[in-house]
Amino acid sequence: MAEWKNRRLGDIGTVVGGGTPSRERAEFWRGSIRWLTPGELTGSSKKYVSETQDCITELGLASSGARLLPQGSLLVTSRASIGSCALAGVPMATNQGFKNLVPSAEVDPSFLFYLGRTLGREMTRRASGTTFLEISGREFERITVRLPPLEEQRRIAEILDTIDETIQATERVINKLRRICDGLRRSRFTELVSLSEPRPVSDCFDMTLGKMLSPAAKTGSNPVPYLANRNVQWERCVLDNLDEMDFTPPERIRFSLVPGDLLVCEGGEVGRTAMWHGELDVCFFQKAIHRLRTRGQVEPEYMLHYMRYAAEFDLFKMHTSQTSIAHLTAEQLARLPIPVPSREVQRVVVNDIGSVSRRIEAETHEVQKKHRIRTGLVTDLLSGGVRTVPG
């Protein structure tokens, strides 16, 4: 098999910068040439970009110092947010926040895209600047990459394209299921609100605000894990970054968690709620969180779904007579009205919404698994650690 070679980016293509026409010249804008800015790529996972927020004219292009890049060029952000990239799906120009690579004939554009997504760390290392970091064209050209023969590039790109397509297909399923779940939740609770006599949360749940953080608690001799605001996400607790502090014996009773407890965020995304399923044998919660423990009239999972409905329709603001709300106090939460139909009706609602939620959870686990597989494949394939065989 042909060997891989170490090549500088400047040797496998032409590095091209961008520019911005004067905003004061109307004749430079609203033309037919796509013109890309870094903000349109940051956070995007799209392989190709064909649409841009702005277009410029031929006059604008000539005045700006930018160049028209051919389809298949690698567009790479080079300042502030460094290393976001995509392929030009159509001929286009960029502003000065890019270092773009027009590949030579020895480079497959699709392979170059996957290679480009690995460059961020090295680009940042080579960047400089006091106001914001930026990598120069010369430093970008000097970055060394491992380049396989052209046919192997194409096989690698095909493998990674395939797994990306399966990930995207699963994500489309998840998005569709979320829309179904949102619609189901909206219709069920809108009907129940109109038919059921509302009751305040304090009638149906015992409420407890978590323990306040303190230096003494942080340095105690018996630290135990606790949930902070960041650990409480919608419908789930994130347990991979738990902090610890000391809880006295009385505090361990007061701030304990049992399966079925609801955890409601006081600040941040106000009202965000998760249910505790007994994921850990010992875990407590801090003051940024309200614990709701049912008194028996309301199914915890029913209340969990209702809290999401309340957040969607701004009921936390509506029932606290505020136009904006930074914190959901115990008094405000206690007054929140909830529809309380029979337990049988509550279980029907839980089963209807829960069946879709469980499918979302299963598909989410599947897409996370695919992402892990993809990460390993990218490392192996782009390093030459695993070689592809012509098929």
Would you list the domain boundaries of the chain? 5-147, 148-196+341-391, 198-339
Q: Residue 364: its pLDDT value, please?
A: 96
Question: Backbone dihedral region of 206: left (phi > 0), alpha (psi from -120 to 50 degrees) or beta?
Answer: beta
Exposure letters 157-180 (e unless 16+ CB within 10 A, then b): bebbeeeeeebeebeeebeebeee
CATH topology of domain 148-196+341-391: Helix Hairpins (1.10.287)
Superfamily of domain 198-339, CATH level 4: DNA methylase specificity domains (3.90.220.20)
Q: Residue 258: its pLDDT value, please?
A: 97
Query: Can you tell me the distance from the alpha carbon of 225 to that of 282, in angstroms, rounded to the nearest whole number?
Result: 7
Amino acid type, 8: R
Number of Cβ within 10 Å of residue 221's Cβ equals 5
User: According to CATH, what is the number of the domain 5-147?
Assistant: 3.90.220.20
Q: Residue 215: its pLDDT value, please?
A: 80
| Strands, E assignment, 89-204 | 92-94, 100-103, 144-147, 198-200
pLDDT tens per residue across span 135-144: 999 999 999 9
CB 285 within 8 A of CB 263: yes
What is the 8-class DSSP label of residue 38?
G
Query: Can you tell me the distance from the alpha carbon of 20 to that of 29, in angstroms, rounded to the nearest whole number?
Result: 10
**Distance (Å) of CA 208 to CA 131, 133, 168, 268, 332:** 46, 46, 42, 18, 13
How long, in residues, is the chain? 391
Could you give the strand order of the β-sheet that contains 74-79, starting from the edge strand earlier in sequence?
13-16, 100-103, 74-79, 81-88, 48-49
Q: Average per-residue pLDDT in the chain? A: 94
Q: Residue 214: its pLDDT value, please?
A: 82
Residues 164/166/167/171 CA torsion (nearest 10 deg): 130
Q: Residue 131: its pLDDT value, please?
A: 86
What is the 8-class DSSP label of residue 27?
G
Minimal CA–CA distance to 311: which of 233, 204, 209?
Answer: 233
pLDDT tens per residue across span 65-97: 899 999 999 999 999 789 999 999 999 999 999
The answer to whether domain 5-147 and domain 148-196+341-391 are alike in fold is no
Q: Residue 1: its pLDDT value, please?
A: 55
Q: Which stretches of the chain score pLDDT less than 50?
A: none
